[in-house]
Amino acid sequence: MVRGASGTQCLFVPLVALVLSACGGSSQPPSDNSSGLAQAVDGAVQSSMQQFSVPGISVELAKQGNLLYAKGYGDADLASAQPAETSTVFQIGSITKQFTASLIMKLQEQQLLHVDDPLVNYLPGYQFPPAITLRMMLNHTSGLANFTTFPQFGQWVRNGVTEATVLTAIAQAGLQFQPGTQYQYSNSNYFALGTIIERLTNLSYAANLQQSIFQPLGLQATYYNLPPANVAAAGYAINGSGIAPAMIWDRSAAFAAGAMSSDVADLVAWDHALVSGAVVSQPSFQEMIKPNGFAIDGQGDSYGFGLALSKYNNRPLIWHSGQIGGFTAENVVFLDNQFTLVALTNDQDFDTDPLVYKILNAVCLSATLSGNC
């Protein structure tokens, strides 16, 4: 799941080739320079799909929230041969963490918490170490063990689990290191932050998303619960005999660390709103993109609050990837001009990083297309 910005996965990492397959697609009308963008993006996506046997991909490029190019490729559902569209809804895994971090910052703006408060102030019943602060949880320096690695996690995915059960297991697992002394990606941080959001608002995490983010921003294709079947992609995995339907996780097992679903247009709208100050204040957003002081990979990337921090050609950008049963996803936003790339797939074994890198190179390094980037 919820692979996200883990220490073993940076933004641009080559992937070993798998097997070949064909891909089709459907598109929606793009902007004036669409001919060149279509050739560049289509070539990058189709070559990746053929190389790694990806069932379906949906991609959108935008600038300042305005569409540059969007297209669906391959199949949203192999059984029915339903094509992937730009309106197809995919599960987005750890991209959910951006939404959770934003809800925490909104609570800070309402003076209901402060990110430097101890975790035990808000979850006193679990005997978490008093040295852990909310800031450490937001930027993955808390030392909390990652609950998605626990032996009982598979059962939670299949059958569902209560928040109290997961939080108790996290607390009893002990610390991986002294809080604040290193970076280690842990879904436990954002699971616990989801419970804090619920306790301070007396609303479910899903209701918080709906009232504070989905409705105000008009995100009509973004969901905490599983999306309607008529718009949702089917998720797949690679097993010994090829591509097979993946196990769909119970939402309670992913919770505030990775349960959400969306389409490319809604994620572009989300990215634009977040960077532009329509979600949290600009001071809050600047705090979200403050490096945690540790490198998260060999490329010099760092991590803020629900956002990985990187550079492309010396240009600062924020990004996050997500992996959950049947799906991988990634969104990237350049901070200087809000050039945005969103890629969603229904293949849990596909690494989106090389595809993102391939598209960025095809557009941003092109003499004729770099103006888009």
Q: What is the pLDDT of residue 35?
A: 85
Q: Average pLDDT over the chain, rounded to whole? A: 91
Contacts of residue 367, defined as CB under 8 A and 6 or more positions apart, other chains included, come to none
How does DSSP assign 235-274, residue by residue? PEEEETTEEEEPPPPPHHHHHHHH--EE-HHHHHHHHHHH
Which residues are bridge partners to 343 per DSSP? 59, 330
CB-based contact 280:105 (threshold 8 Å)? yes
DSSP H helical ranges for the chain: 34-52, 96-109, 134-138, 153-159, 163-173, 187-201, 205-209, 215-217, 251-258, 264-276, 282-288, 352-364
The topology (CATH level 3) of 89-280 is: Beta-lactamase (3.40.710)
Give the pLDDT confidence of 340-371 residue by residue, as tens digits: 999 999 999 999 999 999 999 999 999 999 99
Q: What is the pLDDT of residue 242?
A: 86
Domain ranges of the chain: 12-54+350-373, 89-280
pTM of this structure: 0.91
Q: How far is it, in rounded angstroms, from Cα 187 to Cα 95?
A: 12
3-state helix, strand, coil in the chain (%, to 5): 35, 20, 45
Q: How far is it, in rounded angstroms, from Cα 207 to Cα 24?
A: 37
Weakly modelled stretches of the chain, pLDDT under 70:
1-33, 240
How does DSSP assign 270-313, residue by residue? HHHHHHHTSSS-HHHHHHHTS--SS-SSTT--EE-SS-EEEEET
Q: What is the pLDDT of residue 3?
A: 37
Q: Burial of 181 by CB count in 10 Å (0-12 exposed, 13-18 middle, 19+ buried)?
A: exposed
Q: Based on C-alpha coordinates, what's the Rg of the chain?
A: 19
The token duo for 348 is 């849990």
Helix (DSSP H) and strand (DSSP E) numbers for the chain = 12, 13
What is each CA distance from 337 to 59, 62, 193, 222, 353, in whole angstroms? 19, 10, 31, 25, 21
CB-based contact 28:60 (threshold 8 Å)? no
Contacts of residue 103, defined as CB under 8 A and 6 or more positions apart, other chains included, come to 197, 208, 209, 212, 213
Contacts of residue 42, defined as CB under 8 A and 6 or more positions apart, other chains included, come to 25, 71, 73
The token duo for 142 is 């808390």
Q: What's the gap between Cα 275 and its chain centre?
A: 16
What is each CA distance from 319 to 11, 101, 121, 372, in whole angstroms? 8, 14, 30, 18
CB-based contact 113:107 (threshold 8 Å)? yes
Give the pLDDT confidence of 207-250 residue by residue, as tens digits: 999 999 999 999 999 999 999 999 999 999 987 678 999 999 99
Q: How far is it, in rounded angstroms, from Cα 329 to Cα 320?
A: 8
Q: What's the gap between Cα 361 and its chain centre?
A: 22
Contacts of residue 165, defined as CB under 8 A and 6 or more positions apart, other chains included, come to 156
CB-based contact 90:345 (threshold 8 Å)? yes
Put residue 51 in one of left, alpha, beta given phi > 0 → left and psi -120 to 50 → alpha.
alpha
Q: What is the pLDDT of residue 33?
A: 67
Q: How far is it, in rounded angstroms, from Cα 129 to Cα 136?
A: 12
